[in-house]
Amino acid sequence: MLSGILLGTVLGILCGAVSGLIPGIHANTVAGLLLSLQALLLAWFEPVVIASAMFATLVTHTFLDNVPATFLGIPDAETSLAVLPAHALCLDGRGEEAVRISALGSAAGVALSLPLALGFVLVLPALQPAIDWGIGLIILAVGGYLVVVSESPGWAFAVFAVSGILGVFALGCSYLAWPAGGESGVLMPLLSGLFGVSVLLGGSQGKMPEQRFQGLDIPAGALRRGSILGSAAGALVGWLPGLSSATANTLLTSVVGYDSNPREYILATSAANTVNAFLGLAAFYAISRTRNGVMAAISALEDMPPATAILLAGALAAVGAYLLTILFSRAAGLFSGVNVRALNRAVIIFIVMLSFVLCGPFGILVLLLATAVGCVPALVNIRRVYCMGAIMLPVMVYSFGLA
């Protein structure tokens, strides 16, 4: 079995590198592809190889998805808010530092996820009915708190509500999208409009400053605090149904400001992203619930391997993914002197094309509406976090049984 775990891990690292570095491709997509090839793969490999490859892909993706977010400013569901401080550091000549901090956060998340998973498995299954009932109330309380402490509560509520209605519309009518992007493919144009195109349209001018790495400028206290807070948020959304890393990002903004503490926020969200993957696996084996597409694909395998085998594959993948992330962080030098306006235009064109390929005309409509909403925070001088209503309101609607 060990040789199968190692083989699956290597395959998963390769697949995760592709999905993490290419915007629009998610680990869920790769898992679905492997599942569709199950009959062919089982003729050559043990089931543990396929399952290990799926989970290793997910873990690797959580490490590497911050690379395009940092250098290009293209968000996905996991980096929707983290892209703002990461890309800002890149525009300040510290892109490599931003990527290395995210890698450090993910590594800390791996180290903390195992004891968290054990504690959750032992305690939470008996409390699951009460937990399921209270999810919507938790999200409602967090959203209300963020609005109340806003610089302008009226505008904050308006942006939160409008983006939330847009999220309900986009996800509720996702059947209008082309099937290429899968059921969650509509998240790409939705979040790219709110946090990508709208930012790039008003982005910096001139040339990208010289990228220099002068070490990690993050205090030890912020390192510890960000790792613990991020891991706790990732564990929460990894176990609870209907939540995602995007929700964790929003929760973290209530305690770690992405504008006032950008490095700590990047570290915390990266930890949350990776812990979410491991706790999703724990929830699957403990209470038989799938929290993401990868877990759904593993559950559909003809012969599921034990949890210890999948955890080992994830831990090994984390080591390889960390090294790959450090390697790709050095690509920051390639952006030195690049015309920022031309780069922004190229990224916007890429996002439009990708939205059309994944979701068709419906994706373009969602992208246009999301971009319009995403431009409002800068005009009224509030934080962009309130655009996360696009994720939080649909979760509340789902939790309260309204859809």
Q: How far is Cα 293 from Cα 260, in angstroms, rounded to an integer? A: 34
SS (H, E, C) 131-156: HHHHHHHHHHHHHHHHHHCCCCHHHH
User: What is the predicted pLDDT for the residue at 243?
Assistant: 67
Q: How far is Cα 167 from Cα 102, in angstroms, rounded to an integer? A: 27
Helices of type H across 173-261: 187-192, 198-201, 220-239, 245-253
Six-digit token string for 188: 């790409």
User: What is the predicted pLDDT for the residue at 288?
Assistant: 74
pLDDT in tens, 304-336: 788 888 999 999 999 999 999 999 988 877 777
| Residue carrying structure tokens 């619930």 | 289
pTM: 0.83
**CA-wise closest residue to 212 among 379, 336, 347, 340:** 336
Given a contact cutoff of 8 angstroms between Cβ atoms, the answer to whether 87 and 69 are in contact is yes
Q: Residue 211 carries which DSSP code?
A: P
Q: How far is Cα 140 from Cα 156, in angstroms, rounded to an integer? A: 14
Task: Indicate the number of domains in the chain.
Answer: 1
User: What is the predicted pLDDT for the residue at 362?
Assistant: 93
Q: How far is Cα 293 from Cα 341, in angstroms, rounded to an integer? A: 36
Given a contact cutoff of 8 angstroms between Cβ atoms, the answer to whether 4 and 49 are in contact is yes
**CA-wise closest residue to 58 among 96, 86, 30:** 30
Q: How far is Cα 270 from Cα 277, in angstroms, rounded to an integer? A: 11
**CA-wise closest residue to 136 among 232, 242, 230:** 242
**What percent of the residues of the chain are helix, what percent strand, and what percent coil, each to the nearest 5?**
75, 0, 25
CB atoms within 10 A of CB 129: 8
Sign of the CA dihedral with 30 first, then 35, 40, and 45 last = positive
| Residue carrying structure tokens 């949350």 | 272
Sign of the CA dihedral with 49 first, then 52, 55, and 58 last = negative
The b/e string for 5-19 (b: 16+ C-beta within 10 A; e otherwise) is: bebbbbbbbbbbbbb
User: What is the predicted pLDDT for the residue at 163?
Assistant: 93
User: What is the predicted pLDDT for the residue at 334?
Assistant: 75
**CA-wise closest residue to 279 among 306, 240, 335, 333:** 240
3-state secondary structure of 26: coil
Six-digit token string for 237: 């959304």
Q: How far is Cα 26 from Cα 40, in angstroms, rounded to an integer? A: 22
Q: How far is Cα 380 from Cα 151, in angstroms, rounded to an integer? A: 10
**CA-wise closest residue to 385 among 58, 146, 46:** 146
Q: How far is Cα 93 from Cα 336, in angstroms, rounded to an integer? A: 8
Residues of the chain with confidence (pLDDT) below 50: none
Q: Residue 162: give the domain boundaries.
A: 2-399
